[in-house]
Amino acid sequence: MNEDSALKIRNLVILLPVLTLLASCNVNQSIDVPANARWSGGSSTINGEIHVGAGAIVDGSLRTINGRIYVADGAHTGNLTTINGDIRLDDGVHAGDMQTVNGGIKLGKDTLAGKMATVNGDIIAGSGASISGNVGSVNGDMALCGAQLEGNLSFYNGSVLLTGGGVIHGNLTARKPTHDSEENSKVNIPVVIIGPHATVDGTITFERPGELYVSDSAVIHSVEGVTAVKFQGPAPAGVPSPACPAN
């Protein structure tokens, strides 16, 4: 399967559950769940944002086509899906799976989440965040800063930073886009930085040429397709990397 086909499948996987609700969802309206409220079911909208107040509990999924999703401190929700928009979880939020096509995903401190996927956008996870499923991005950077990932992490174009004692229990894979020319792949080489006290339990695999930097205090096991470059200090000198969320 080529990458174009894979992207179409990813988009359909995200679109189909949303499209099935079009007949009953809101149009041109935002959804606002009050703080500390209890919703017994999910909700959906087109051309509207979704805001879940602090401490609220939503037992179902929340979906929008054009709009961001924001979940405030300590709230609990089901799955979160948007086509064009960011997804942001504040500290202590519990959520299900999260998917967006054009947008980033950001997890605050001590959050719990399922699998996460974006086509065009960054994925950032703060200290104490725990992700139970796989994480994937096509075009975007990732920063796991003291976060724990139980599944696998994969990406095509971008940089990955694992630092602050973060752990990836699965594999980390820099994938090769099937349509890339040799010249383009050199311009967009994948970069992975395993920072101080971070751990990757699975295999780090580069399916095309890239750069892997590993702190002298990090723990990795198996590496394929690239030679790791060791560094001391908080980050490799002169290597741009994704930014961790501000405390």
For the stretch 82-139, pLDDT in tens is: 999 999 999 999 999 999 999 999 999 999 999 999 999 999 999 999 999 999 999 9
Percent of the chain with pLDDT over 70: 86
Q: Phi then psi for 18, rounded to 5 degrees?
A: -75, -45
pLDDT value at position 181? 45
What is residue 121's predicted lDDT score, i.e. its pLDDT?
97
- The Cα 206–Cα 227 span in angstroms is 10
Residue 246 clears pLDDT 60, i.e. is over it: yes
Check residue 54 and give its pLDDT: 98
Separation CA 121–CA 123 (nearest Å): 7
- Residue that wins the pLDDT comparison between 182 and 91: 91
How far is Cα 135 from Cα 160, in angstroms, rounded to an integer?
A: 12
The 10s digit of each residue's pLDDT in 13-51 is 444 444 444 434 678 899 999 999 999 888 999 999 999
Annotated domain spans of the chain:
1-113
Q: Counting beta carbons within 10 angstroms of the beta carbon of residue 12, is it exposed (0 to 12), middle (13 to 18) or buried (19 or more)?
A: exposed
The whole-angstrom separation of Cα 107 and Cα 196 is 21
